[in-house]
């Protein structure tokens, strides 16, 4: 009986060690997976306020779809992205900066939340605006998501009606 108990305790110890190692590796994988790599095509809709001649402050929303470089199975692949935001466009000094929040929602309805900000030294269409976004939480499979990431936002077109089109590359 004693030998059987020792054998059971020994097996439980091995199982516990294996479970701990697997848990450690899954945590590492989870942390690495909170670095989405791909691009986000967006359309901006909002209201622009002229602060002074050549200086505008826009408040609205950038929304679109994220395309993971990994394709199907990649983090956030084909997820909807909605970003309430502000955009300070100073044509007089050829500078712009922006920031806000984003909600990423996948096909299952699970969400990830983030804050973001970026700036550019050129207001010409196609000029890159490097920035960062930081996960602040999530639901479902994204519960507990965290980490700081980098992106580059590029405005392709500022339309005459005050809307804008562009894209952002994430972690490239």
Class of residue 164 by CB neighbours under 10 A (exposed 0-12, middle 13-18, buried 19+): buried
Model pLDDT for residues 129-156, shown as the tens digit of each residue: 999 999 999 999 999 999 999 999 999 9
Return the number of other C-beta atoms located less than 10 Å from residue 127's C-beta: 14
> Does 12 score more than 80 pLDDT?
no
Q: Which residue intervals of the chain are DSSP H helices?
A: 2-33
Query: Could you give the 3-state DSSP secondary structure of residue 127?
Result: coil
Phi (first) and psi of residue 36, to 5 degrees:
-65, 135
Confidence (pLDDT) at 158: 85
Model pLDDT for residues 31-83, shown as the tens digit of each residue: 345 899 999 999 999 999 999 999 999 999 999 999 999 999 999 999 999 99
> Does 21 score more than 60 pLDDT?
no
pTM, entire model: 0.79
Confidence (pLDDT) at 138: 98
d(CA 86, CA 97): 8
Query: Could you tell me the pLDDT band of residue 22, with boundaries at 50, 70 and 90?
Result: very low
Mean pLDDT score, 150-167: 93
Confidence (pLDDT) at 121: 85
């Amino acid at each position: 009986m004693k030998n059987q108990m020792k054998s059971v305790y020994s097996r439980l110890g091995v199982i516990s060690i294996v479970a701990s190692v697997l848990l450690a590796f899954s945590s590492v994988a989870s942390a690495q997976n909170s670095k989405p790599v791909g691009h986000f095509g967006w359309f901006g809709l909002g209201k622009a306020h002229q602060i002074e001649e050549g200086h505008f402050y826009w408040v609205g929303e950038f929304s679109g779809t994220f395309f993971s470089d990994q394709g199907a199975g990649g983090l956030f692949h084909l997820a909807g992205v909605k970003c309430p935001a502000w955009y300070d466009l100073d044509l007089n000094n050829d500078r712009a900066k922006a920031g806000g929040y984003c909600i990423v929602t996948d096909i299952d309805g699970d969400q990830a939340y983030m804050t973001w900000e970026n700036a550019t030294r050129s207001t010409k269409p196609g000029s890159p605006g490097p920035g960062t976004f930081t996960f602040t939480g999530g639901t479902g499979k994204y519960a507990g998501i965290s980490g700081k990431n980098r992106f580059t936002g590029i405005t392709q077109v500022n339309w005459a009606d005050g809307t804008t089109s562009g894209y952002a590359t994430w972690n490239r």
